[in-house]
A = this chain, B = another copy of it.
Amino acid sequence: MTPDQRREAIVDATLAVAIEKGLASTTVRDVAAAMGTSSGLIHHYFESMDEVLAAAFEQVARQDLALSERLMGEAGSPTSAMAVFFRTYTPVDKDWSFQLWLDAWAEAARRPAIRVVSARLNLAWQDLLERTIRAGVGAGEFRSDDPTAAAWRILSLLDGLALQVVAHGTTIDRDDVLRWAVRAAEEELGLSVGVLAG
């Protein structure tokens, strides 16, 4: 294995563990066991465990963003791009990804490395939404007098609702999140009810 491959393997293994145990309780030994190697190897490629965790979080967050960005780009119109956004942002089988976001937000205030990554990626999501909204307004599909605010509102409402599902699991369920967020977005963008659903 080349150094680059090995670094990648470490990040992948870290991710696999973090999915099950959470970012905060992922240990060097866990990662080593997941790779089938020794724990010392990880410190041969990374200065500290914090850097490993930050790299893992960044990878997952960037992959999710890249996937949504690609699928939204392939959509035929801003309206269907927005529908794709809702489907890809709230996948049923990826609670662990959102749990990583919760961990990151909580840790951001105290860990500069995490704050930088988290802020950059949140901004990137908002930017993706804002560009889509502006395109929709330009194409006459959406109506919005403040695309910046609209993008933040759509994103933050989804975050706030999804948070309830992932953190508590009992307050509201996944269907509520998607239904309520989609409905708010339709209102926000001047669309008729049901256009963004399904």
Contact = CB atoms under 8 A, between A and B. Distances in A.
A11 B149 CA distance: 40
A163 B115 CA distance: 12
Given A157-B157, A180-B149, A122 B187 contact: no
Size bin of chain A's contact surface: 35 or more
Contacts of A128: none
Contacts of A122: 164, 168, 171
Interface stretch (A36-44, A78-86, A100-108): A100-108
Interface string A130-149: 00000000000000000001
Interface in A98-135: 99, 102-110, 115, 118-119, 122-123, 126
A156 interface: yes
A168 B106 contact: no
Contacts of A167: 104-106, 108-109, 115, 118-119
Nearest to A166: B109
Contacts of A62: none
Interface of A: 21-22, 24-25, 99, 102-110, 115, 118-119, 122-123, 126, 149, 152-153, 155-161, 163-164, 166-168, 170-172, 176, 179-180, 183-184, 187-188
28 contacts: A22-B106, A24-B24, A24-B106, A99-B106, A102-B105, A103-B106, A106-B106, A108-B167, A109-B166, A109-B167, A115-B168, A118-B167, A119-B170, A122-B164, A122-B168, A123-B171, A149-B183, A152-B161, A153-B157, A153-B180, A153-B184, A155-B160, A156-B157, A156-B163, A157-B157, A159-B163, A184-B184, A184-B188
